[in-house]
Amino acid sequence: MTRWLRMTGGLLIWAAHFIGLYLMSSAADVWSSSEAAGARWMGLVFSLGCLVAVIAMAVWLGKQQGKGGPEAWERRVGLTGVLVAGVSILWQTVPLAF
Amino acid sequence: MTIETPAVLSGWPPPVLDPAGPFAGPVATVAWVLFVMGAVVLTLVLIALGVALFGPPRWKRRVAGEKLVWIGGLAFPVVVLTGLLIYGLSVTARVADAPRPGEMRVRVTGEMWWWRVAYLDDQGREIVQDANEVHIPAGRPVVLELESADVIHSVWIPRLGGKTDMIPGRRNFMRLQADAAGVYAGQCAEYCGGPHALMGLVVVAHSPADFAAWRLKQAAPAAVSGVPGAAVFTASGCGACHTIRGTEANGLAGPDLTHVGSRQTLGAGILPNNQGTMAGWIADSQGIKPGNRMPSYSVLSGQELRDVAAYLESLK
Amino acid sequence: MTSETGFDVDKYDRFPTTEPRPAGELEQLEQAWCGPRTPWEWITATNNNIIGVYYVGAAMLFFVLAGVLALLMRTQLALPMTGFLAQDTYNQIFTMHGTVMMFLFAVPAVEALGVLLLPQMLGARDLPFPRLGAYAFWAYLIGGLAFFCSLFFGLAPDGGWFMYPPLTSMTYSPGINADFWLLGIGFIEISAIAGAIEIIVGVLKTRAPGMTLDKLPVFAWAMLIFACMIIIAFPSIILATLLLELERALGWPFFDPLKGGDPMLWQHLFWFFGHPEVYIIFLPAAGAMSTIIPAMARTPLVGHPLVVMAMLATGFISFGVWAHHMFTTGMPQISINYFSAASMAVSVPAGVQVFAWIATMAAGRMRFSTPGLFAVGGMVIFVMGGLTGVMVAMVPFDWQAHDSYFIVAHLHYVLIGGMVFPLFAAIYYWLPMSSARPLSESWGKWIFWLMFAGHNLAFMPMHLTGLMGMPRRVYTYLPGRGWDLPNFISTIGAFMFGLAVLLWVIDMIRNFRPFGPREAGNIHDGPGLEWLPSGFYSVRSIPVVKSLYPLWDQKGLAEDVAAGRYFLPGAARGERQTLVTSPLNAEPQYVLRIPRPSGWHLFGAVFTAGFFLILTIQAYAAAVVSGVLAIYCIMRWCWFLDAPHTRKTTEIGAGIRVPNYVSGPSSHGWWAMVIVLIVGGMVCLLAGFSYVFLWSRRPDLWQAPPPISSLLVSVGLLAVAGLCALAAPRAVRVARDGAVSAATGLLVLASAGVIAASIVEGRAWWTTGLQPDFSSQGASVYALLSWAGTFAAIGGLMGLYVVLRRLFGRLAAERPSTVDLIGLFLAFTAAQSIGVILLVRLFPGSGL
């Protein structure tokens, strides 16, 4: 499981972030208004949490340099995935400002 | 069968790129920005591809490494897309905005395969009904309340802005504004079965003074009694589906015909409006727009058709 | 490298073996895997070499048929107001074109490619569940043909390929046309999921030893991600089609706003499937590109880990873009913006792949034989489609472009560039492997250029017609709007494309002629295992893989493999066998006995197809008979599973012995069951989402749930049932007499428990007076209960099956798989029921 997590961890955080933001905005739409500032602040805090998680993931992968063979390759897949996930999470956070 | 097109429906210049109001203008700018972006990126990709396939070995080596993937596939798109994202969000925020109290409202209801149009007062009550045409004052925003009576439709008047769906059980809003008086063509954009292809809409923007006059005139009935066509209209049962205010015709299933003679088009934006097309429409509406809800009145004689058409055209 | 399973990887050094192979070994292998001889054997065949060819052939048949429909449409639209096709015919044709292309061509075609190629690429003898694959194929073929034929009776669906209600509800589509759509999709759901199970288990568990994830062919990576996406995305369309059919047949108001339903629910469910679907189609094609381009350029793929990451990222992010089909529906602005951002993010991995392909071409020397042409041409078209994709990801631009011909242009650029061209590249590249004969190169060049020019001529002008205001799905248009000329050009382009396909069909027929020499060999100098010399048994022996490109890097591999110097060089005991390896490092685990052909899967497919078809034409009694027969055939087919082995282990070469039987999480059956349960759980999860969604639209319609006493009974029953189900696999492993009977008893108790709980819960709701056709609450509550109840009923059948196996002595303590899997299923069923019951009782909060 660790090895699968290594490859997909960043993207899993992206998925959690996306689902979380979508649920927050939908819930805000049902219970108050999607324009509500409270929901946006919650979204922002959540996004920051996810960004921290992505960075933690990158640090964890960065520490595993010693590995060779397939695991080194899996680590590279994971690291680039973390990069794409991080950018996507940042983009996903931008709408909160509009 | 030949159909003469109403002059308002010309497709050139492409209406999306020929905006006529503040809700279409920024979108046209977005479109041009995107086209330029697309052309530049495509050119760069083709150059890289050309070098990769046919370039001299020294050039090929420059694009042969993983560096190209990092720059072309990651860094470059991330920069460009970040810019586009922020630009897009700001335009979205500018163009779309929830309706505010005090704005003029028109309720447009999509029906299979025409549009019911109702002008609302400040309290949201219906003042007057019309069909297949939305009249607005030029130079100020008007909020359309979009509803559906049956299936999903979508209003699209490309020169005035993007489209918004009409969804049963929901009410959507869209803002229209035309900077200058004129006639703007629209169409149903969401497939709604049968003759969806022939479900057009016209927006007429008047100068503010003209708009006030139009509204007054619209509120009053236009019917004249005693003309032969009126009798044919009544005898043929047209009033079961159509309303002509000031007469006993009060049907609600089809378009209100109180001022049908003043409309730009017939059959929901597909025929120019004159006595000939009116007679043709009544006699053969199923041939012209197959599947629509109005039966062809081919039983009427030529004289009756001419009479009823003349009568309806007189309803200015 | 640490071992994953405890297998000593140093043993790989014993290969290739040097001692001579025993006499008669090859003959025994050939005999075990002998090809079909009689027509009946051709029909009941399960070998992936045969089913794969059938599958690709059927998919291409639907491609041609849907293409003919496209030409009919283009003829109608060549000029304004033509009367070539009547309005209702046109509406049926455009609906069928989209539906057949998406569901009967694109998904099955890539899946077929996987079925055909994966075992060869992975060095397996066959897929792990060959009869399931054959069943899926036959259900798809029969169902697809029947569905297509509805067109000839004017009964084809006419609501567009995404079938938005209420247009497709009973009120506005009273005929059975819409039901045919739901039926046709039903088949593709079955076959897609069956195929996904095959592919996931195949890629993870039947790789050649040593084929670690970094040496897994990129195409196999793509197919793995593809199959996982099917598992997540298809439940959404399964649920959507079930709900729409329930509304149409029984009046349960999921989408009818008069009773609290909401047409938007369909759009969410449909596109949660529908957008990932586009990437489901694209990924295998991209994987093929990443395989073909390095082969044609004779150089390793540049940025291999980046490409794999890009495919993984596509798999994830594509689930965050569904609402970009709904930018005009009045969704909250902020939600729309999230989807816009995700839609841009999903283009990044696509860019990574494109630049990796360009860099690979630069690193090597691209050969411009037909596969190379199709790969390069497809890439160019795909880039253009991707750029318009970025455009429509911008919300303001999409408001203008949405539902116009601009979108028609965009989606054809993406799908033809991203899937059709790569598919043709794949056919030209791999056909010599499959039919042992290449297609004509000179014809191929003509076909490519005609197709490339035809595509651009047909679809380039559509960008303009869209901007000129032409909406999509119009059966005609008025003259004088400036649309005439671009439409006429589009029609010419479409016919050029059609001509190219016709030439290709002729060449294919020529290629599959049953006479003449067949000795193409590895004509492209391909680097993958699929280019090893092979027969119906796939490779003579299963090699140790030490490189991503074994045929390039491992000298003499082909000769050693063909001489039987690697794993599993024979067919021990005359059985069909393949080697099961571990999911990460591909270390040998056990020998999987592959079933021989029999008629039961075929009959099962025929009666399954019959059930749905007859149901659609509303002959209910006959449908039930067909359904029962289908269940009987499938149970007969299962009956021979988990059969005794004469030996405990098999020698797989160089003195290495592995077991013949493994149970629990290492076994292929366990993986397949878990995947099935994930599908079921996803459907249930989405049904729960639908329940909450409908509540949020009309909370005023929600009435109080039944009293708490019944809740305690049903949840108590389920908890007991779940515990029994979990205990059964442990009981059967207790080394004592009567263990098998105890396990049987526990499973029977569990199945009785889940059924009893379903009845208790259903009755409790019924006595509140709430009925399914009353309101959206009634509809969604009973839908959830029915879903859980269906699992309970299947659990009941399984209980019966276990009892029968016990009575006939087909359960044994040393073979616990049957008990394991049924226990797993029943435990899941109990948990799912508890989840459903707690949701409908406790949300929105009036239950306690």
Instruction: Tell me, yes or no, if B93 comes closer than 8 A to chain A by beta carbon.
Output: yes
Q: Are residues B260 and B188 in the same domain?
A: no
Is C776 in contact with C698 (CB distance < 8 Å)?
A: yes
Determine, for residues A81 and C214 on separate chains, whether the beta-carbon distance falls below 8 Å: no
Q: Which of C195, C204, C386, C188 is nearest to C286 (CA)?
A: C386
- Identity of the amino acid at A49: G
Q: Which residue has the tokens 């209600």?
A: C165
Q: Which of C746, C676, C743, C720 is nearest to C830 (CA)?
A: C720
Determine, for residues C400 and B66 on separate chains, whether the beta-carbon distance falls below 8 Å: no
Task: Work out the mean pLDDT of chain B and round it to a whole number.
Answer: 92
Taking CB atoms within 8 Å and a gap of at least 24, the contacts of C785-790 are C785/C758, C785/C761, C785/C836, C785/C840, C787/C683, C787/C684, C787/C687, C787/C836, C788/C684, C788/C758, C788/C829, C788/C832, C788/C833, C788/C836, C788/C837, C789/C758, C789/C762
String of DSSP letters for C347-375: HHHHHHHHHHHHHHHHHS----SHHHHHH
Is C292 in contact with C370 (CB distance < 8 Å)?
A: no
Among residues B153, B177, B210, the one where a domain terminates is B210
Please, where are the H alpha helices in C395-524? 395-401, 405-415, 421-434, 441-467, 484-511
Among residues C478, C511, C544, the one where a domain terminates is C511
Hey, which residues 102-141 in chain B have their CB within 8 Å of chain C? 112
In a domain, C431, yes or no: yes
Hey, which residues 320-339 in chain C have their CB within 8 Å of chain A? 320, 332-335, 337-338
Contacts of A98 in chain B (CB under 8 A): 89-90, 92-93
Q: To the nearest 5 percent, what fractions of chain C are helix, strand and coil?
A: 70, 5, 30
What integer pLDDT is reported at residue B97 of this predicted model?
79
B265 CB contacts (<8 Å, ≥6 apart)?
A: B6, B8, B132, B133, B200, B202, B271, B272, B273
CA distance B289 to chain A (A): 41
* Neighbour tally for B111: CB within 10 Å: 22
Is B128 in contact with B283 (CB distance < 8 Å)?
A: no
What integer pLDDT is reported at residue C846 of this predicted model?
60
Q: What is the mean pLDDT of residues A82-93?
A: 96
At C438-483, the pLDDT tens digits run 889 999 999 999 999 999 999 999 999 999 999 999 999 998 888 9
Q: Is the pLDDT of residue C697 over 60?
A: yes
What integer pLDDT is reported at residue C642 of this predicted model?
86
Q: Report the domain count for chain C.
A: 2
CA distance A98 to chain B (A): 7
Is C202 in contact with C120 (CB distance < 8 Å)?
A: no
Q: Measured between CB atoms, which of A18, A26, A70 is closest to C213?
A: A70
Q: Is the pLDDT of residue B4 over 60?
A: no
Determine, for residues C263 and B65 on separate chains, whether the beta-carbon distance falls below 8 Å: no
At C168-220, the pLDDT tens digits run 999 999 999 999 898 888 878 888 999 999 999 999 999 999 999 999 999 99
What integer pLDDT is reported at residue B9 of this predicted model?
58
In a domain, C586, yes or no: no
With CA atoms as reference, the chain A residue closest to C215 would be A70
Percent of the residues in chain C that have a pLDDT greater than 90, as a whole number: 83
Instruction: Considering only the C-alpha atoms of chain A, give the largest distance between any 2 of them, rounded to a whole number of Å.
Output: 53
Residue C486: band (very low, low, confident or very high) from pLDDT cuts 50, 70, 90: very high
Among residues B184, B210, B236, the one where a domain terminates is B210
At C313-339, the pLDDT tens digits run 999 999 999 999 999 999 988 899 999
Residue C435: band (very low, low, confident or very high) from pLDDT cuts 50, 70, 90: confident
Determine, for residues A70 and C317 on separate chains, whether the beta-carbon distance falls below 8 Å: no
Q: Is the pLDDT of residue B3 over 50?
A: no
The DSSP letter of residue B194 is: T
Among residues C496, C511, C526, the one where a domain terminates is C511
Is C540 in contact with C562 (CB distance < 8 Å)?
A: yes
Q: Are residues B202 and B300 in the same domain?
A: no
Q: Measured between CB atoms, which of C353, C361, C483 is closest to B11?
A: C483
Q: Is the pLDDT of residue C167 over 90?
A: yes
Percent of the residues in chain C that have a pLDDT greater than 70, as a whole number: 99
For chain A, which residues make up each domain, given as ranges?
A: 2-97
Number of residues that this document lists for chain C: 848
At A11-58, the pLDDT tens digits run 999 999 999 999 999 888 888 776 678 888 999 999 999 999 999 999
With CA atoms as reference, the chain B residue closest to C698 would be B169
Which one of B79, B80, B84, B89 would you mutate to disrupt binding with A, by most A Cβ within 10 Å of its Cβ?
B89
Inter-helix orientation angle C370-393/C441-467, to 10°: 10
Give the three-state DSSP class for C680: helix
End-to-end CA distance of chain B: 28
Q: H or E segment at C817?
A: helix C817-842
Residue C77 tokens, joined: 């639209």
Q: Are residues B157 and B277 in the same domain?
A: no
Chains adjacent to A (≥3 CB pairs closer than 8 angstroms):
B, C
In a domain, C630, yes or no: no
Determine, for residues C469 and B185 on separate chains, whether the beta-carbon distance falls below 8 Å: yes
Instruction: Tell me, yes or no, if A29 comes closer than 8 A to chain B by beta carbon.
Output: no
Q: What is the pTM of this model?
A: 0.96
* Residue B279 belongs to domain spanning: 228-313
Determine, for residues B89 and C337 on separate chains, whether the beta-carbon distance falls below 8 Å: yes
| CATH number for position C457 | 1.20.210.10
Q: Are residues B80 and B138 in the same domain?
A: yes
CA distance B25 to chain C (A): 11
Is C650 in contact with C569 (CB distance < 8 Å)?
A: no
Which one of A7, A18, A24 would you mutate to disrupt binding with C, by most C Cβ within 10 Å of its Cβ?
A18
What integer pLDDT is reported at residue C573 of this predicted model?
86
Instruction: Tell me, yes or no, if B92 comes closer than 8 A to chain A by beta carbon.
Output: yes
Determine, for residues B27 and C388 on separate chains, whether the beta-carbon distance falls below 8 Å: no
Distance separating alpha carbons of residues C147 and B7, to the nearest angstrom? 43
Determine, for residues B98 and A35 on separate chains, whether the beta-carbon distance falls below 8 Å: yes
Contacts of A84 in chain C (CB under 8 A): 309-310, 313, 345, 348-349
Determine, for residues A18 and C214 on separate chains, whether the beta-carbon distance falls below 8 Å: no
Contacts of A35 in chain B (CB under 8 A): 98
Chains adjacent to B (≥3 CB pairs closer than 8 angstroms):
A, C
What integer pLDDT is reported at residue B274 of this predicted model?
94
Instruction: Tell me, yes or no, if A76 comes closer than 8 A to chain B by beta carbon.
Output: no
Instruction: Tell me, yes or no, if A34 comes closer than 8 A to chain B by beta carbon.
Output: no
* Residue C66 belongs to domain spanning: 49-511
At C223-233, the pLDDT tens digits run 999 999 999 99
Q: What is the mean pLDDT of residues C354-368?
A: 95
Distance separating alpha carbons of residues A80 and C533, to the nearest angstrom? 37
Q: Report the domain count for chain B.
A: 2
Strands, E assignment, C31-84: none
Determine, for residues B85 and A91 on separate chains, whether the beta-carbon distance falls below 8 Å: yes
What is the count of residue pairs from B and C with beta carbons less than 8 Å apart? Answer: 279
Residue B1: band (very low, low, confident or very high) from pLDDT cuts 50, 70, 90: very low
Instruction: Tell me, yes or no, if B277 comes closer than 8 A to chain C by beta carbon.
Output: no
Determine, for residues A95 and B93 on separate chains, whether the beta-carbon distance falls below 8 Å: no
Among residues C511, C536, C555, the one where a domain terminates is C511
* Model ipTM value: 0.97
Residue C366 tokens, joined: 């691209």
Backbone angles phi, psi at C590, to 5 degrees: -160, 170
CA distance C790 to chain B (A): 32
Q: What is the mean pLDDT of residues C122-135?
A: 94
In a domain, C492, yes or no: yes
CA distance B124 to chain C (A): 20
In a domain, C603, yes or no: no
Distance separating alpha carbons of residues C371 and C427, to the nearest angstrom? 8
Q: What is the mean pLDDT of residues C366-370?
A: 92
Distance separating alpha carbons of residues C653 and C670, to the nearest angstrom? 27
| CATH number for position B232 | 2.60.40.420
Distance separating alpha carbons of residues C221 and C291, to the nearest angstrom? 11
